[in-house]
Structure 1
């Protein structure tokens, strides 16, 4: 059974209301849930919030960029930008897509498979047709220069 953070917070709040110590509350959670249990530091932080009379167990709203900027929409938008202008840089990506450079790096390298070479974004992996063309070119050159035995090499 997979528990959510809110479930653990409810258990910590129950322990807090029963005047159980942070250490004992953490030990109880670890005993019952092993690796799923929150860390002792997390239990301490929540006990501190409960002492400050926090009663909501929900996550508080956070400002700033979303926690994950790598979405199918941003991947598609980045792919469009690369196709329209292969010389686009990280700053232009960040300005256009409104995401951080780390997310841009992840999208470009992990999802789109492109690398920056001579100020252009190019595919990192070759397509089958490109690989075959390279093999054919090498065979042609070997035949032309007699396998490297020619004095023209």
Structure 2
């Protein structure tokens, strides 16, 4: 399961009124090998409590993806 799907499941737990411990127990029982860490669940619950209900990654500063192409890498190494 990918990160986005786990975030949706964490949001489901949050909306159902489960706390982080209950969510971790449930996710560990259903997905023992791939469940997110306790700290990840806490971080996402904090976002949900602040009203940030989206499950996608936020914008990040830094180099845009368009920069990393074979053509641009060749240009930058010359």
Per the TM superposition, whether the score is higher than 0.5 is: yes
Partner of 1:45: 43
TM-score by length of 1: 0.44
Q: Give me the TM-score of the superposition, normalised by structure 2.
A: 0.80
- For these two proteins, the number of residue pairs brought into alignment is 75
Match of 2:28 in 1: 30
Q: Which has the higher contact order (CA 8 A, sep 6+)?
A: 2
Using a 3 Å threshold, how does the CA distance of structure 1 residues 72 and 57 change in structure 2: closer, same or farther? same
Structure 2 unmatched ranges of 5 or more = none
**1:1-153 → structure 2 map (5 Å cutoff):** 3-66=1-64, 71-73=69-71, 74=73, 76-77=74-75, 78=77, 81=78
1:27 and 1:71 mapped to 2: Cα distance? 42
1:5 Cα offset (Å): 1.3
Larger Rg: 1
- Determine the C-alpha separation between the residues in 2 that align with 1:45 and 1:26: 12
| 1:120 alignment partner in structure 2 | none
**Aligned mates of 1:56, 1:17 — CA distance in 2:** 13
Runs of 4+ residues over 3 Å off in structure 1: 69-73
RMSD over aligned CA atoms reads 2.0
